[in-house]
Structure 1
Amino acid sequence: MTAGLLTAGLGMGTAQAEDVRIGVFVPTTGVLAPLGNDMKNGFELAARGATVKGEPVRLIIEDTAANPANGLRKAQKLVLEDQVKLLIGGASSAVTLGIGAQAARLNVPIITTNGQAVAITGDQCGKFLFRTVPHDGNSAKASAAMFSERKDMLEKKWFVVYHDFAYGLSNKAEFAKIPGINIVGEAGRPVGTADWSSAISQIQSSDADGVYIALAVGDDLTAFVNQLRGYGITFPVLTPVGIPDTMLQALGDNGVGMMAGGLTASWMQEADNPKIAQLVKDYHDAYGIVPGYQAIQAYAGLQFTLAAMEAADDLSPESLIKALETTAADTVVGTLKIRPEDHQGMQGSYVAEAVKLDEPRFGATVGWKTLSHLDWEQVNVEPAESGCKGL
């Protein structure tokens, strides 16, 4: 069942024949719902009033529930029944990879604005599959750059907690490649784990003085951090790319001090980025909260996609693929473009720390403060390193 419809600039209503239809696949229910709903909100805001070649854009939003089989069914429905021109979303790497495996049959471009497993533009790269954000390998390079400046962090003994599926396995493998990193233990758990006491016992019995969490962003992650702090473990917690701001607010003081090695954007950049400032205002007006980084990534990803669709000769799959490979779009996070060799988005990232605000802003009491910017060249992983052997 369709989770939601949006006709940009026209409000809800019956689709018009001339609408430019874009299929959005995100988890709006289940353990990854906090992430998926942030993305949904970002896509909807970016689509407001949007047109492609003079025709209004219509988003058709489907809930994948972060389940690969369900995600593929929803992708098939969007393409075959709704006749969308392309698919965008992909909160879960496993869902994105599952849909990507059927890309040739679906015959539309598939764009993820969040899936981070290297394989998406690595050894499972393909002509239909695109990513607008950094992947786990890029995030690991960002963490390595941070460690080069923070010797106290590099010297720590790290315990890795990960989700035992595509994203967690990919992320922990990339973290282990950081030069000089000292990993003294690890604990893998399935998505949907609510009780982390056994993993925390493993941490306590190890010699660790730092925790790296390769957990998919969802309720599991907040449960882990709250339980970790509840057990009196106060040493640093490092995430690869941060967590949504809705979840950061839910953690409150337990989230303060968390570090992110490869955050892609923060609403707290509003002071230095007028486009972020406008997005924060519009997002808060629409949803009553600040945008998390997944919402900002979704907004920027759809801005890029709409620019590519406008630049395409026509809206056929081949023309759209060519335009996605060659477009450089001015977005809320800066210029966004895709590397044509593997369809990897060339975007830098930030080292960030979760800080308590002096006074609430837009309802937020905690936020990601960016400490330093890492440009694309600092986090770049070449196609030969990621495993893409050509499209």
Structure 2
Amino acid sequence: METIILKKSIGRLATCLALAGFQLAATAADTGTDLVIAHIYSRTGIMESYGKQTQDGLRLGFEYATGGTMKLGGRNIKILEKDDQGKPDVGKRLLEQAFADEQANIAVGASSSGVTLAMLPIAEEYKKVLIVEPAVADSITGEKWNKYVFRTGRNSTQDAVAAMVAIDQQGTHIATLAQDYAFGRDGIKAFKSALKKASLVHEEYLPATTSDFTAAGQRVIEKMKDLKGRKILFILWAGAGNPFRVADLGLERYGIEVSSTGNFLPAMAQYKRFPGMEGATYYFYDIPKNPANTWLVEKHLARFKSPPDFFTAGGFSAAMAIVTALKKTDGDTSAVKLIPAMEGMSFETPKGTMTFRKEDHQAMQSMYHFKIKVDSEVAWGIPELVREIKPSEMDIPIQNKR
């Protein structure tokens, strides 16, 4: 009997040791495997410049957050770069490929709102977290949202509410010019919802590939030329094309001013035509004062011989969100751990502190009221800070159906 008991005890001990050995081996394997981040963005297409900035920022953000090691919890950070070409069907397929075949743990993207909207169901299907950067359409964290979606980029309503600080005044008449797709439509919808004092008298929507803005400009003039009071054409545009050429039609002869949001530096070359123009911006490298932005500006100038741009800061912020979240979960990339860790989570960015709102996972963040200054030695109109618009000052509605 004692021999039988002894044999059973030895057998149980061997099994326990084997299981322990397997668990240790599995833990070692986990810490040794790469942390795979799929970045779906426009390396080509009309938003190519946006994509490159985001990619540069993402890498710089991981570098900053890891002290230059590009490792987290003993794992190498591996970024899969995928070109969606600005096409929703391509972005959807690439994200599915990354999750299904390439073992991506987390995804970041996309440059285009249309592409991003196509990607949202894939994150839900594979139950993996998607960090949305820099697409801004409200519907991403609104009616099309699911719980696997977190957005570090600002949404259209944040743009719109911030813009109101500069131009929503009694007796002001506003016309809008925007692109006829998710970014433009959602943006103007948010803009209209945010208006409290001024009146909206006309809306123009044009294809994203538009190069001739003459007809649209003439329609704006016809609608506004005889109005009394302040008259503003608000332009909301992304990617290719130069809608600011409507000024060639002599808007000033009819007392029509131009206003817009901030933009990436090459696009703001057009702002030099409008000294004193007021608006609100998501980011300009010389505005925020914090350690992350100081590091980013210095590193970017040294590495690329130019300051970081609009979407560079966004990519950086996405990396900071990922690292902050994985430190909270001890490296666990499963959505069941990440989602509760990220809901309500605050993290540092080049814009200062952002916080993922628990209800819709939209990052609450500062915006900046600016006035354009012109310097002959600077290639773009300089958005000088009037004041920081803090998250607590902006009433950003929760638009999803959780």
TM class by smaller structure: 0.7 to 0.9
Distance 1:139 1:121 in 2: 14
Matched, 1:175 2:191: yes
Matched AA of 1:311:
K
Q: Deviations over 1:117-172 (max 9, x none)?
A: 11111122211111123312222222233346xx4xx5332221111111111111
- Paired positions, count: 357
- CA separation of 1:73 and 1:323: change in aligned 2, threshold 3 A: same
Q: What is aligned with 1:83? A: 103
- CA separation of 1:345 and 1:165: change in aligned 2, threshold 3 A: same
TM-score between the two structures when normalised by the length of structure 1: 0.84
Q: Is the 8 A contact 1:156 1:182 kept in 2?
A: yes
Distance 1:26 1:380 in 2: 30
Counterparts in 2 of 1:221-232, with a 5 A limit?
A: 223-225=242-244, 227-232=245-250
Q: What is aligned with 1:237? A: 258
Bigger drift between 318-327 and 252-261 goes to: 252-261
Q: 1:260 aligns with which of 250, 267, 279?
A: 279
Q: Is the 8 A contact 2:208 2:240 kept in 1?
A: no
- CA separation of 1:157 and 1:284: change in aligned 2, threshold 3 A: same
Q: What is aligned with 2:360? A: 342
Q: Deviations over 1:298-342 (max 9, x none)?
A: 212211221112221412222222222243222222222211211
TM-aligned CA deviation for residue 359 of structure 1: 4.5
Distance 1:118 1:130 in 2: 13
Matched AA of 1:373:
E
Distance 2:276 2:239 in 1: 19
Identity percentage of aligned residues: 21
Q: What is aligned with 1:6? A: none
> For 1:382, what is the secondary structure of its paired residue?
coil
Matched AA of 2:366:
G
Q: What is aligned with 1:60? A: 80
Distance 2:358 2:37 in 1: 22
Q: 1:111 aligns with which of 108, 113, 131?
A: 131
Q: What is aligned with 2:6? A: none
Q: What is aligned with 1:9? A: none
> For 1:290, what is the secondary structure of its paired residue?
coil
Matched AA of 2:393:
Q
Q: What is aligned with 1:285? A: 302
Gapped regions of structure 2 (runs ≥ 5)? 1-30, 226-230
Distance 2:317 2:376 in 1: 29
- CA separation of 1:186 and 1:74: change in aligned 2, threshold 3 A: same
Matched, 1:211 2:233: yes
Matched, 1:381 2:402: no
Distance 1:355 1:28 in 2: 32
TM-aligned CA deviation for residue 85 of structure 1: 0.8
Distance 1:157 1:54 in 2: 58
Q: 2:322 aligns with which of 305, 309, 317?
A: 305
Q: Deviations over 1:320-377 (max 9, x none)?
A: 22222243222222222211211111112111233223754xxx55332221111112
Q: 1:369 aligns with which of 384, 389, 396?
A: 384
Q: Deviations over 1:234-259 (max 9, x none)?
A: 443222x411013224x363365443
Matched, 1:44 2:59: yes
- CA separation of 1:267 and 1:172: change in aligned 2, threshold 3 A: same
TM-score between the two structures when normalised by the length of structure 2: 0.82
Q: What is aligned with 1:5? A: none
Distance 2:274 2:105 in 1: 40
Distance 1:143 1:52 in 2: 39
Q: Is the 8 A contact 2:159 2:282 kept in 1?
A: no
Matched, 1:139 2:159: yes
Distance 2:276 2:85 in 1: 31
> For 1:315, what is the secondary structure of its paired residue?
coil
Matched AA of 2:105:
K
Q: Is the 8 A contact 2:59 2:319 kept in 1?
A: no
- CA separation of 1:355 and 1:61: change in aligned 2, threshold 3 A: farther
Q: What is aligned with 1:353? A: 371
Matched AA of 2:209:
G
Q: What is aligned with 1:3? A: none
Gapped regions of structure 1 (runs ≥ 5)? 1-15
> For 2:343, what is the secondary structure of its paired residue?
helix
Distance 1:353 1:64 in 2: 35
Q: Is the 8 A contact 1:142 1:378 kept in 2?
A: no
